[in-house]
Amino acid sequence: MALRVVNFCFTLLDCQVYKFDESDVSRVNSKLANLLVEVIPVELEVMHICCTNLKGSKSEEVGRFVKQLLEASPDILRESLIHLQEHIVNVVTPSASTCNIHVMIEFLLIILTDVLKDVIRHDKLFVLLARVIELTKEVFVLVRNLEENMNETSDANLNLLESIELLKEDLKNDFLKARADSSQLCFPMNDGPLFMTLLLTNLNDLVNSNAYSVSLIKEEIGQVKEDLEIIRSFFGYVEQELHRDLWTRFLDVAYEAQHGINSILARDHGLLQLIFILPDTVEKIKLVKKEVQEKIPKSSGIIVANSPNKPVESKIPKSSGIIIGFEEETEWIIRKLTSGPAEIDVISIVGMPGLGKTTLAYRVYNDKSIVDHFDVCAWCTVELFLLEVDV
């Protein structure tokens, strides 16, 4: 190892003296990357020995050294893992093993990013860092073995995945200070349908993404996307008004899921989200889905009401609740519809989101004078970003 480092230093000196061209510089950079993959595990082994074997030393000087090493270790480990990620992408052939390695690296990076943010119990901090050092060393060894096509790589991969799951449990039960507050976030915007359209589009992109930053929670993202799509399919504009409380709860858990996923991907307080909040949110979404399926009949999107002249099947449920308000507006629209011109006409109901436009339209649609006046009444729900041919 020392000889390889010396040879590289001489190569680098030659590069400075003889002014190598771009191809030579590229070759030197490649050598440096490969050399770092060899050197860093040795560095990690030294760090691990210092954190474990020297921990019991009675020397104050040794104690201060170990403490300083542990305090500096998050930055050292983070830079080492980021370098390893780049090395895998540039050198190692993609496979199931490399995907698992990316999962491990992302998990360790989240810990190292949050470890000094006052979320870890102080008396457990150095114990946790010592375990992260050991796992990081094992990841480097696994990558090196993978490059050399060693047979034991598969078993080591499985063992490391088990170690990651064990560390997750220990974080939940031992290392983190307290269970994170998973109280429901409140959806802060007005246009719920637009938010859901954009959120589901983003989740679909993440599920289909090969980015290693997504690999750690791709399963959870897929589950959230599937459940939100099912719930969203029950809510047309009418259902949003008739089941306003349930629609609000749906938006809140969807927003909570978006916040959790983004925090993990950005490594911004992602540890609490990963260990506590996102799993809780996934369960909340399942409960909302169950309640929606029990309370709201699935709508076909095109609804036809009965008429005394031409009886047809009604596919829209009558409101079981009492709609209050809009008396004057309802009478005005009904008067326009029943006594207006014979030609085809359009009456638009416009206003800010949440003012009750759909409620007003639903009230007019179900009024007895409208049903008696027209041979056929049809209700058509047109979603955002729908193609004209679909309408």
Could you read off the pLDDT of 117-148 as tens digits, one per residue?
778 887 788 788 888 888 888 888 888 888 77
Judgement on whether residues 281 and 311 belong to the same structural domain of the protein: no
Q: What pLDDT shows up at residue 318?
A: 46
Q: Does residue 327 form part of some domain? A: yes
Residue 292 CA: distances (Å) to CA of 209, 232, 234? 30, 10, 7
HSE at residue 347, side-chain half, CA atoms within 13 A, is 17
Lowest mean pLDDT among 133-147, 222-236, 349-363: 349-363
Q: How far is 351 from 126, CA to CA, in rounded Å?
A: 58
Domain of residue 362 covers 302-380
Instruction: Compute the average pLDDT of residues 265-287.
Output: 91
Q: Does residue 45 form part of some domain? A: yes
Judgement on whether residues 266 and 347 belong to the same structural domain of the protein: no
Judgement on whether residues 312 and 284 belong to the same structural domain of the protein: no
Q: Residue 290: is its pLDDT beyond 80?
A: yes
Judgement on whether residues 281 and 346 belong to the same structural domain of the protein: no
Residue 214 sits at φ, ψ, to 5 deg, of -90, -20
Q: What pLDDT shows up at residue 109?
A: 92
Q: Residue 313: is its pLDDT beyond 50?
A: no
Quick one: pLDDT band at residue 46, thresholds 50, 70, 90?
Answer: low
Q: What pLDDT shows up at residue 55?
A: 65
Q: What pLDDT shows up at residue 217?
A: 93
Higher local confidence (pLDDT), 236 or 301: 236
Q: Does residue 387 form part of some domain? A: no
Q: Among the three residues 175, 203, 238, which one is the final residue of a domain in this structure? A: 175
Higher local confidence (pLDDT), 86 or 261: 261
Residue 222 CA: distances (Å) to CA of 219, 254, 381? 5, 13, 27
Judgement on whether residues 33 and 74 belong to the same structural domain of the protein: yes
Judgement on whether residues 200 and 73 belong to the same structural domain of the protein: no
**Contact (Cβ atoms closer than 8 angstroms) between residue 246 and residue 295:** yes
Judgement on whether residues 218 and 276 belong to the same structural domain of the protein: yes
Higher local confidence (pLDDT), 350 or 233: 233
Which of 291-329 are b and which e, b meaning 16 or more Cβ less than 10 Å from the residue's Cβ?
Answer: ebeeebeebeeebbbebeeeeeeeebeeeeeeeeebeee
Judgement on whether residues 69 and 36 belong to the same structural domain of the protein: yes
Q: Write out pLDDT tens, residues 93-104.
A: 888 788 888 888
Q: How far is 172 from 167, CA to CA, in rounded Å?
A: 9
Average pLDDT, the chain: 76
Q: How far is 38 from 282, CA to CA, in rounded Å?
A: 41
Q: Does residue 385 form part of some domain? A: no
Q: Does residue 181 form part of some domain? A: no
Judgement on whether residues 271 and 328 belong to the same structural domain of the protein: no
Q: What pLDDT shows up at residue 39?
A: 56
Instruction: Compute the average pLDDT of residues 25-32.
Output: 53
**Contact (Cβ atoms closer than 8 angstroms) between residue 197 and residue 359:** no
Q: How many CB atoms lie within 10 A of CB 161?
A: 14
Q: Does residue 386 form part of some domain? A: no
Q: How far is 259 from 202, CA to CA, in rounded Å?
A: 13
Higher local confidence (pLDDT), 205 or 307: 205
Higher local confidence (pLDDT), 339 or 219: 219
Closest CA to 99 of 208, 271, 216, 220: 216
Q: How far is 8 from 14, CA to CA, in rounded Å?
A: 10
Judgement on whether residues 349 and 242 belong to the same structural domain of the protein: no
Q: What pLDDT shows up at residue 337?
A: 86
Higher local confidence (pLDDT), 203 or 48: 203
In the chain, the percentage of residues whose pLDDT exceeds 90 is 17
Judgement on whether residues 168 and 122 belong to the same structural domain of the protein: yes
Higher local confidence (pLDDT), 365 or 122: 365
Q: Does residue 186 form part of some domain? A: no
Q: Among the three residues 244, 260, 295, which one is the final residue of a domain in this structure? A: 295
Based on the structure, what is the number of domains in the chain? 3
Q: What pLDDT shows up at residue 130?
A: 81
Q: Does residue 184 form part of some domain? A: no
Q: Residue 301: is its pLDDT beyond 60?
A: no
Judgement on whether residues 243 and 165 belong to the same structural domain of the protein: no
Q: How far is 314 from 70, CA to CA, in rounded Å?
A: 70
Q: What pLDDT shows up at residue 159?
A: 79
Quick one: pLDDT band at residue 284, thresholds 50, 70, 90?
Answer: very high
- Looking up tokens 């050292």 gives 76
Lowest mean pLDDT among 60-74, 78-92, 221-235: 60-74
Record the tokens describing residue 93, joined without a space: 């052939």
Q: Residue 253: is its pLDDT beyond 70?
A: yes
Q: Among the three residues 234, 268, 295, which one is the final residue of a domain in this structure? A: 295
